[in-house]
Amino acid sequence: MKRPFVSKEQLVDIAERYPTPFHLYDEAGIRANAEAVLDAFSWNPGFREYFAVKANPNPTIVRILAEHGCGCDCSSLTELMIARRLGLTGERIMFSSNDTPAEDFRLARELGAIVNFDDLSHIPFFEEVAGPVPPVVSCRFNPGGLFRLANGIMDNPGDSKYGMTEAQLFEAFRALRDRGAREFGLHAFLASNTHGNDYYPALARILFGLATRLSRECGVHVGFVNLSGGVGIPYRPDEAPCDIRAIAEGVRRAFEEVLVPAGMGDVAVFAEMGRFMTGPFGCLVTRVIHEKRIHKDYLGVDASAVDLIRPAMYGAYHHITVMGQAGGPDKSRRPAARTYDVTGCLCENNDKFAVDRELPEVELGDLLVIHDTGAHGYSMGYNYNGRLRSAEVLLREDGSTELIRRAEKPSDYFATLDVNPDWNR
């Protein structure tokens, strides 16, 4: 049974101060989870979690994680700017991009970030637009084919645009070595939102083995192996959460069996988790404003795919809890009573948060909590139909709240129409 991290009484009070819809984040949960990750990998002295900023680029959230020693995994100019604004520079930044514009590489070089090269051709391009390659570099690996574990096919790297082939990887390490790089890292992202505890250990064995061969055959020092992201969260109530301690222990065993015998026990293990770090600790709070009964029963809410596109884009499941309203019954623990499609206001038929979802009987004005939006929620927002994106609110550890991003206004939507300033009136 999924339960919100906020009580009905708290939520009613919060919604009186901040108009729905808004994304709400749980500071206590984020901090506790960050500490659990750091503790699980404490066996590796060089371990660092580089939070995937794309998952939740709100500077307040990134700062909270930075206070626990996390770095930033950035993939764009503006994400690098967020890191810089928070005082994160140098090796606190992993810059992992693809089809990278020149200005992105220039800022990464200026900030001293670890550049994770996605393609062999990016090395001379980087030199041309940003200057000499940094002393610490990384390369992204794509093995191709299907990535399988004992429980089946996890993903299809052969269909992915990211990374280099194995032959290209050896060529890239030699090219970077000859250009003055002195410490090397290896990176791969082979599967997304994995369940169970086997993905990181399996990936680690592949990368650890490859790292030993790269070190030996290219005559370089491999200083770190970056397992990237891919550790999933339980979006559905019947899914079990990943056990980060079991995952870290599996990586440790692979480390001891592959790297230590090769004399590479000094290699640091890095991760770039986004979804696992913040996903369960955010929710989209929205209010029921219409009910429509035609061939199906529809609940119309004041949020839309502008605020959370994953269900519309991927058919992704996000659990929904009906909280009710001030003075009314608490519906969050009631059994399902009716089947609804929960819809937003966009002129697109896929603007639905749920299809044929069984929920308690809902009344107009009820508050709904749409779970697990702390990663890839607000960050994937857009402005189709001229709809404006919602606010973001932080639920502090002491129960107070802080507005960490205001809701957009029409003037924000029209602000880029510089050719006609009258639009901003």
Looking at the predicted structure, is the pLDDT value of residue 334 above 60? yes
- Whether residue 18 lies inside any domain: the answer is no
Looking at the predicted structure, is the pLDDT value of residue 153 above 80? no
Which residue, 299, 282, 286, is CA-closest to 369?
A: 286
pLDDT of residue 156: 59
Comparing 151-165, 176-190, 396-410, which segment has the lowest mean pLDDT? 151-165
Query: Do 371 and 332 sit in the same domain of this protein?
Result: yes
pLDDT of residue 419: 63
**Residue 307 to residues 124, 213, 235, 351, Cα–Cα distance (Å):** 40, 46, 17, 11
Looking at the predicted structure, is the pLDDT value of residue 182 above 50? yes
pLDDT of residue 158: 58
Last residue of one domain, picked from the residues 235, 263, 278: 278
The percentage of the chain sitting over the pLDDT mark of 90, rounded to a whole number, equals 87
Query: Do 86 and 145 sit in the same domain of this protein?
Result: yes
pLDDT of residue 155: 52
Domain CATH code at residue 362: 2.40.37.10
Query: Do 257 and 355 sit in the same domain of this protein?
Result: no
Last residue of one domain, picked from the residues 247, 262, 278: 278
Range of the structural domain that residue 286 is part of: 280-414
Mean pLDDT across the chain: 94
Mean pLDDT along residues 335-358? 94
- Whether residue 19 lies inside any domain: the answer is no
Looking at the predicted structure, is the pLDDT value of residue 319 above 80? yes
Q: Please count the structural domains in the chain.
A: 2
pLDDT of residue 417: 86
Query: Do 112 and 248 sit in the same domain of this protein?
Result: yes
Mean pLDDT along residues 245-250? 98
Looking at the predicted structure, is the pLDDT value of residue 420 above 60? yes
Q: Is the pTM of this model over 0.85?
A: yes
Query: Do 267 and 321 sit in the same domain of this protein?
Result: no
CB atoms within 10 A of CB 19: 12
Query: Do 256 and 299 sit in the same domain of this protein?
Result: no
Looking at the predicted structure, is the pLDDT value of residue 115 above 90? yes
The percentage of the chain sitting over the pLDDT mark of 70, rounded to a whole number, equals 95
Query: Do 299 and 222 sit in the same domain of this protein?
Result: no
Longest dimension (CA), the chain: 71
pLDDT of residue 162: 84
Query: Do 329 and 318 sit in the same domain of this protein?
Result: yes
- Whether residue 21 lies inside any domain: the answer is no
pLDDT of residue 145: 54
Last residue of one domain, picked from the residues 278, 304, 338: 278
Dihedral angle sign, alpha carbons of residues 52, 58, 61, 63: positive
